[in-house]
Amino acid sequence: MKITIIGTGYVGLVTGACLAEIGHDVFCLDVDPRKIDILNGGGVPIHEPGLLELIQRNRKARRITFSTDVAASVEHGEVQFIAVGTPPDEDGSADLQYVLEAARSIGRYMNGFKVIVDKSTVPVGTAQRVQDVLAEELAKRGLGASNQHRFSVVSNPEFLKEGAAVDDFMRPDRIIIGIDEDANGELAREKMKRLYAPFNRNHERTIYMDVRSAEFTKYAANAMLATRISFMNEMANLADRVGADIESVRRGIGSDPRIGYHFLYAGCGYGGSCFPKDVQALIRTAAESGQHLRILEAVEDVNHGQKDVLVDKIVKSMGADLTGKHFAVWGLAFKPNTDDMREAPSRRLIAELLARGATVSAYDPVATDEARRVFALDLANAPDQHARLSFAASQDDTLAGADALVIVTEWTAFKAPDFEYLKEELKAPRIFDGRNLYEPNALRNAGIEYYGIGRPVSTFDSFTEA
């Protein structure tokens, strides 16, 4: 099938590359010529494991094309995926200007039946707005909903984890497709069934529903996962106070099949492009409908506070005035295997350390360039603080002369460091672990002062050793 992807961001590129991989003829459109130049030059504008190789392979096979030509993109695809950004507006609602502009572009140029697929994460009711825009553009051209200019708007939300998006797309646990039962719905359903047929050969993974339910499903899924994270973070903070070990608690409750282990890791808060934005958008949608989502309001509040938990532990241990103190920070991206700095806990942590007078040397395996850009903006009005932030070429390079090491992102490379080397390089052997990578008692026995999230040093080992 001939497929058009509008938007070459995270969702658009992964969707386009994976659909090309299973044999479709994919045309990727972006109005940003810089992105298209990077892609046509053999690069990729984002970091996602496996994506570059996938794109290169399918470009060689001539199954994927990148262009800024809007008219050509509409002409190409019988199915048009809208995969543009939906950033949060000032009031927390999703900004749909790019989605609606994509719909206008389709309406200006379409000839023949088109299936327009909302792949972007959008609020309930967006498909209707897209449909209205398409009808309006066709009317401007003097065209009604004739057979030649029919269309159907479908909701097909993505469920991709940054850092594992290619595998998530190629091995989906479910494919949600929202189609309204109307004159064009049956034809749209047949096209979507053909599109995703390779993923359903072993067993049917597609779940069909109405459009509004599909739109709601995406928000509800992310809200549930964010809730689990904030719940465990709140439990971890209580565990710190009462002397319980949240890792033991996690294993204890996760073994219950009704709960499971996923998204039960305590830490220094969630970030990224999805959870913060989608929780806020769902809260806003509820407010517009006259309802308060009290649980999600608490989830957001807990996460906001959790991003300060490491600073609170540092202040308690080392004092509020950190002038003259130097910190090594491992991890900048909001999660491993990505360079995404949106809502990353490292931004709050580093900003607070600098505001308290400290100097910081930071390292991330892939996000350093993006972090340089982000912190230049974050600290634009505080040049003296910006001057006290540096970025190291390796994790070891951050350590020399540091008063403490702070772990913010759980990259695999950070999980088994040479602790003897750490002790030698740090002024004081002190670790603030925002992702609970290490065992408190093992570090205590090695002579390292350790602060985790809900992980007090236990007397359990002394009993078992006796």
Q: Is 118 helix (H, G, I), strand (E, B) or coil?
A: strand
Known binding residue 266? Answer is: yes
Known binding residue 277? Answer is: yes
- Residue with tokens 């350590």, as numbered in its chain: 399
Known binding residue 60? Answer is: no
Q: Give 169's Cβ-side CA count (13 Å radius).
A: 27
Helices (DSSP H) in 142-184: which residue ranges?
165-170
* DSSP character at residue 207: E
Known binding residue 271? Answer is: yes
As a whole number of angstroms, the distance between CA 462 and CA 86 comes to 53
Known binding residue 335? Answer is: yes
Known binding residue 393? Answer is: no
Known binding residue 30? Answer is: yes
Tell me which residue of 100, 110, 20 sits closest to 66, measured CA to CA: 20
> Does residue 28 carry a catalytic annotation?
no
Tokens found for residue 235: 């439990």
Q: Are 92 and 50 in contact (CB under 8 A)?
A: no
- First-last CA distance in the chain: 69
Known binding residue 313? Answer is: no
Known binding residue 339? Answer is: no
Tokens found for residue 67: 């262009």
Beta pairing class for 79-82 and 114-118: parallel
Catalytic residue among 18, 28, 268, 274: 274
Q: Are 130 and 100 in contact (CB under 8 A)?
A: yes
Helices (DSSP H) in 158-306: which residue ranges?
165-170, 185-195, 211-242, 246-254, 275-288, 294-306
Known binding residue 160? Answer is: yes
As a whole number of angstroms, the distance between CA 412 and CA 400 comes to 22
Known binding residue 267? Answer is: yes
| 39 Cβ contact list (under 8 Å, min separation 6) | 8, 28, 45, 55, 66
Tell me which residue of 63, 56, 119 sits closest to 86, measured CA to CA: 119
Known binding residue 396? Answer is: no
Q: Is 289 helix (H, G, I), strand (E, B) or coil?
A: coil
Q: Are 280 and 300 in contact (CB under 8 A)?
A: yes
Q: Name beta bridge partners: 407.
A: 330, 433
Known binding residue 264? Answer is: yes
Known binding residue 285? Answer is: no
Tell me which residue of 267, 241, 256, 244 sits closest to 331, measured CA to CA: 267
Phi, psi of 176 (to 5 degrees): -95, 125
**Could you tell me which residues are annotated as the binding site for substrate?**
159-162, 218, 263-267, 271, 335
**Could you tell me which residues are annotated as the binding site?**
30, 35, 86, 121, 159-162, 218, 263-267, 271, 277, 335, 342
**Could you tell me which residues are annotated as the binding site for NAD(+)?**
30, 35, 86, 121, 162, 277, 342
Which residues belong to the active site? Answer: 274
